[in-house]
Amino acid sequence: MTSKLSLETYYRTNYYSICPKSKNILNSSEFVVYALQSSAIYSVPLFILAGYCVLKKTPKSMDSMKWAYFNMHFWISCQSLMISTLMTPISWLPTASSSMLGLFSLAGVPHTVQFYAAGMVGCLSMSAMISLFENRHNVIQNNRFRISKRPIRLLIVGINYLFAVVYPIPFLFGLPDQDSAKLSILQTISCPSEEFFQLPVFTISINPEFKTYAAISMFICTAFMMFQLNFYASTCIYYLVLSRSKSSSKVTSDRQRKFFYGILIQISIPYLFMLPAIFYTCYSIFRNYYNQDLNNFLILFANFYGTVATFALLFSHTPYRDFFRKVIRWEKTKPIGKISISGNRPSVFIK
């Protein structure tokens, strides 16, 4: 295929002569668009309910964690809505390209802005998750690694959020001509879904070395985030599980430990849910494997991450779980007052 060969010529000659024809609904854009945008019917009320639950139904003993919880829930909800309604992307893995068919495109928002917004929101949700563990880490009074000075804590949190805002920018440098890039994609995907020729396609890069650059930058980003996450989680595990504080009562220690277990459950379930999508993405990119059916299901998995994370939030802690059950059963909820930690019940968080 020469560079002079137009996209239309390729479509009318090469594509029809060498590519099998498929009318499978699973590899169509309509399947993805309808599935994603219809998910907003139940996900938006669920996100609002969970946000209300965190703000209004959090017990007094959890006040120190309330805003950290709400912050994480907010960004995860935004991440899900970016995929389902605002961007509604069609992935063309193994290439670094996609078609965006959501509300942003209907409103005329440039593809570069959409890509940056998606990358930033994804990083912000990760930063919010780190902030949740950082908050839990610093609540432990006998923690020798506890950061007691507020300016230092604000500096660390600020660096994380600044990193999230800046990280997607280098990927936008040196964007290729989009018409030429679409033709170049056919060197990797010789027989894409027929809609590839009909939809607008946004490509980040057609440079063969882009995979290496993207892999290195993502590794650095992941290592930067995971180092903090593992550090905060490790100190929490040590002081709440392995080491018992003599200055804290057994009731308080049990309450803090079970609350931390709830955080681990809430974080782990959504990421375990996403593991198949992560494995497929890596396999597709580094083996140049193309399967539009799996690409479409990849987007659906990414979208349902927010829903799974929200259910994990609602069911990981007893006050939220009880409130959600009462809402489902249309029962009247009783206001939550102050909770004493001197009674016989060891925890109000995890049953």
Q: How many Cβ atoms are within 10 Å of 40's Cβ, its own excluded? A: 16
Instruction: Give the number of domains in the chain.
Output: 1
Average pLDDT over residues 270-291: 85
Task: Give a yes or no: residue 333 inside a domain.
Answer: no
| 88 burial type by CB count under 10 A (0-12 exposed, 13-18 middle, 19+ buried) | buried
Which of 43-52, 183-192, 202-211, 275-284 is most confident? Answer: 43-52
What is the DSSP-derived secondary structure letter of residue 194?
A: G
Average pLDDT over residues 244-261: 65
- Residue 148's H or E segment, with its range, is none
Task: Give a yes or no: residue 169 inside a domain.
Answer: yes
Task: Give a yes or no: residue 93 inside a domain.
Answer: no
pLDDT at 250: 63
pLDDT at 260: 74
Whether the predicted pLDDT of 337 surpasses 50 = no
Task: Give a yes or no: residue 186 inside a domain.
Answer: no
d(CA 307, CA 305): 6
User: Tens digit of pLDDT for each residue in 125-136?
Assistant: 888 888 888 888
Give CA separation, 328 vs 182, 276, 308, 321, 323, in Å: 48, 31, 17, 11, 9
Q: How many Cβ atoms are within 10 Å of 351's Cβ, its own excluded? A: 9
Q: Residue 217 sits in which domain range?
A: 35-87+110-173+207-289+299-328
Task: Give a yes or no: residue 97 inside a domain.
Answer: no
Give the strand order in the sheet containing 202-205: 89-91, 96-100, 202-205
Q: How confident is the model at residue 115 (pLDDT cuts 50, 70, 90)?
A: very high
The residue ranking higher by pLDDT, 252 or 199, is 199
What residue type is assigned to position 74 of the chain? F
User: Tens digit of pLDDT for each residue in 133-156?
Assistant: 888 888 777 778 787 788 888 898
Give a three-class secondary structure readout of 61-126.
Answer: HHHHHHHHHHHHHHHHHHHHHHHHHHHCEEECCCCEEEEECCHHHHCCCCHHHHHHHHHHHHHHHH
Average pLDDT over residues 291-307: 90
What is the DSSP-derived secondary structure letter of residue 334?
A: P
User: Tens digit of pLDDT for each residue in 29-49?
Assistant: 889 999 999 999 999 999 999
Q: Of the candidates 231, 68, 225, which has an alpha carbon nearest to the alpha carbon of residue 160?
A: 225
Q: Which two tokens stand for residue 193?
A: 């879904």
d(CA 288, CA 281): 10
Task: Give a yes or no: residue 248 inside a domain.
Answer: yes
Whether the predicted pLDDT of 244 surpasses 70 = no
Positive or negative, the CA dihedral 204, 294, 47, 315 is: negative
In sequence order, what are the residues at sequence separation of 6 or more whose Cβ sits closer than 8 angstroms to the Cβ of residue 305?
Answer: 76, 79, 80, 270, 273, 274
- The CATH number of the domain holding residue 255 is 1.20.1070.10
Q: Which two tokens stand for residue 284?
A: 């597709």
Q: What single string gives the DSSP state of each residue in 12-28?
A: IIIIHHHSPP---GGGS
User: Tens digit of pLDDT for each residue in 52-89?
Assistant: 988 988 887 777 778 888 998 999 999 999 999 999 99
Whether the predicted pLDDT of 351 surpasses 70 = no
pLDDT at 21: 72
Task: Give a yes or no: residue 122 inside a domain.
Answer: yes
In sequence order, what are the residues at sequence separation of 6 or more whose Cβ sits closer than 8 angstroms to the Cβ of residue 183?
Answer: 3, 5, 6, 7, 10
Task: Give a yes or no: residue 102 inside a domain.
Answer: no
pLDDT at 156: 86
pLDDT at 332: 55
The residue ranking higher by pLDDT, 4 or 160, is 160
d(CA 351, CA 347): 8
